[in-house]
Structure 1
Amino acid sequence: MPMIASCDPAGLSPVGQWLRLVRDGKPFAQTCVYQYWGVSRVQAGDLSFYQVESSQDGRKLLTLLSEQGMTLHIFHTSGPGLKERREEDGKLVYFWEDGEGYAFKSVVGKNEIHTIPGSEEAGDSHWTDLRLEEMEYLGLDGKGLADIWYGHLFRTRDGRTLKLNGGENWQWLQPYQGKTLCIQWGKLSYGPGFGGDTLYAVMPGLRSTGGAAAAPRYDNRRFAFSLSRLPENCTMQESDNGDGVTMRDQGGFSLLAYGTNSYLVMEQSMEDALAELSSGLEVTYKHIDKAKNWFVVSGIAGEEIVYLKCFFGYPAARILRMSYPKHKAHAYAPQVEKVVQGFRLYE
């Protein structure tokens, strides 16, 4: 069961979303995805992965997620990407092309990936022995390498201090000093005699200090609003045009959060919007704050309780709508209150 939340990691260029896989209501693996994505199961021998493919504006990313949370990035390219996948000797083998006409072969085994360039020219790069681990981030070691790579220090579970190199943009890690992070690392080589242990991806969202799952959030950049406190145990899917998100659980709870400029285009007032959004409701409560341009309304629709909140104004209205069965009002009330408190406009 997938969940989607906002993601803008420094390691893969702006991607846009975290994709989290959920089991029994808890996330167990995650990766970054572009706007258009799909998940499928792949198997080779005793290896089993969720294969995640995503794309946007010619950019492509392919990732494998295991049942144990292992994340392996097969490729990240603006080129043709994946050409073929097959099984060889109990391992997964991928053939792909980058944006500069180079062909590559990636062999995936247990907790490792080795990418082999199609030519032997110096300058071809490959990853080897990628792995994902939980480590405490200790901070920068203060010794940059050729003004390009910066050393980051981590403490492993057995107490060792590990130094990994990362580019300039990895300084965004600083706020996470002293916390336990999921990091992916491996050996990056540039031709004979170069390379070393290097950061490839850092995923602070899945786990935090103590191993507890951190709460995901949803950000809508098109209409500049966010949900910082998401409902529990819900599947989440963004709309194709990026105007909002839909969330549902198996108990009858549903949430719709979206933006629209239709009221502005039709020159409708806040009262017009309230009347339209509450149409068909047996209204039990409403409040309008004209000074701050928002309103709330709640009521009954058949066997459901409906709660609406709207931030109304230029350039758009941002609307949150939640509904759930009347007989589960006591169970869902705290969740609804939490979501409403986390419904915000960007500053």
Structure 2
Amino acid sequence: MFVALAPMEGVVDAIMRDLLTSVGGIDQCTTEFVRVTDREIPDHVFHKYCPELLSGGKTPSGVPVYVQLLGGKPEWLAVNALRAYELGAPGIDLNFGCPAKTVNRHDGGATLLKNPHRLFDVVFAVRQAVPPECPVTAKVRLGFADKTLAIEIAQAVDQAEASRLTIHARTRAEGYQPPAHWEYIGLMREAVQVPVVANGDIWNAKDYDLCVRASGCPDVALGRPLIAFPDLARVLKAHLFNEPYTPLHWSDIQDRLLIPFLDRCSRGRHSGFALNRGKQWLRQLARQYSSAQSVFERAKRVNSLEDFRQILLANSTDQLS
């Protein structure tokens, strides 16, 4: 079973990758997308998005971090993919799934799903540019406005010799609204040779079982569910292999992850950045932990990072008393 931490723009940065991979169960990470236009990306930009390049392309826990590129120009994606590899990227991921209107208007992300031959051109150009030992992976959706091109999308990536294909179980038009159509992942998987990874609405072990049954994919990429449930990867692996595992308690999440996250986000930045990121994560954690919901209700209106930290620390003390 392979579990990837799915990239999430504005959420899964190097700090988040470090903390989540420290929990265990995650086999691979991917950066937030690096936008490619018609020029070479400076090295410092790659290092901004993927500081792990300076330490072997892995998180401190040893989990590889692929650099994700987004754009519509095969030749420039190829040039920049090679440079990312030269800087130490253990793999290159290509974003054909971003549903953001601004990104799509500028010929990036899910807009390429309208023309599967463009997916082939991009993946093939990047595959030819980097050495054979460098994995080239792709992330797609079921289609743009509808699912009529789902099979062609998967086949285009496969024929371009991608190393792995992650499929989000919705179209661009469906965004992130439930339900996830895992059965379409199964149809796409059956039409290709490339290994397929399922993505979309796998929040717990029951969801995982339903997804595997519908898609035939034991390998998954987890985005929002891992943010809300930081040891979900370990829970799923223990479930699959029938091994004992006790999930982390809220006190563990708060003390080992959330408070250190605040501290690290505040280094060298305005305190408002750390405050907003802390609230953002706490709100997601409230989906899984009832204690997080009560803390969020007390903390959501505070305007001071120190006040926010004190609420967390007070809650931690309450749980110990």
| Fold match (TM-score > 0.5) | no
Bigger CA radius of gyration: 1
- Which structure dedicates a bigger proportion of its chain to strand? 1
- Which structure dedicates a bigger proportion of its chain to helix? 2
Using the size of structure 1 for normalisation, the TM-score is 0.30
Using the size of structure 2 for normalisation, the TM-score is 0.32
